[in-house]
Amino acid sequence: MAIARRTKTTEPSIRMEPGRVHRGGQPLNRGAVVARRLILLALLVLTTGVLLQQNRDIVAEIFSRPVTKVRMDNQWQHVSEQEIGNLLTGLLGAGFFNFDVEGTKLRLEQHPWIRHAAVKKIWPDTLALSIQEEVAIARWSDGQLLNQYGEVFRPPG
């Protein structure tokens, strides 16, 4: 009876080169792999474009949805919600992506009692406001006040 013996070889039956993928002993052509990926990407972009074109009314409605809600993140002592509403008049109603956050911040900071305003848009139609009020620590001449940073400001009224 013959005994099967395994012989040890130092070389593998399939040579593996770094960075190459082998299937069935044949190395893949990198150019073919890149071409397949580019074709797949082009098909994906084309399909997305066609879907967006066919549903452009829905897409336009989503992207032009106006900012209609205001969320106030903190309480104020010297600034009323009505004053904030008056400052925001004319700004609300702009589309979410067209809403001027920096302009709104600057407009709020024009109020004498507002030291700093942070304005943030929240999808789909909300504006979040965080306002830091001035803290008056002393009276100054002619109805002016001195804040905690040593700056003089004049409150309304």
User: Is the pLDDT confidence value at 116 over 90?
Assistant: yes
How confident is residue 11, by pLDDT bands cut at 50, 70 and 90? low
| Contact assessment for residue 20 and residue 27, using Cβ atoms and an 8 Å cutoff | yes
Domains of the chain, by residue range, sit at: 25-54, 69-153
69-153: CATH topology is Ubiquitin-like (UB roll) (3.10.20)
| Contact assessment for residue 99 and residue 122, using Cβ atoms and an 8 Å cutoff | no
Query: What is the share, in percent, of the chain residues with pLDDT greater than 90?
Result: 38
Model pLDDT, residue 20: 60
Alpha helices, DSSP H, located in 80-139: 81-88, 101-108
- Respond yes or no on whether the N-terminal peptide bond of residue 27 is cis (omega within 30° of 0): no
The CA angle 50-55-61, to the nearest 5 degrees, is 140
pLDDT tens string 19-60: 565 556 556 677 888 899 999 999 999 999 998 888 888 877
pTM score, whole prediction: 0.61
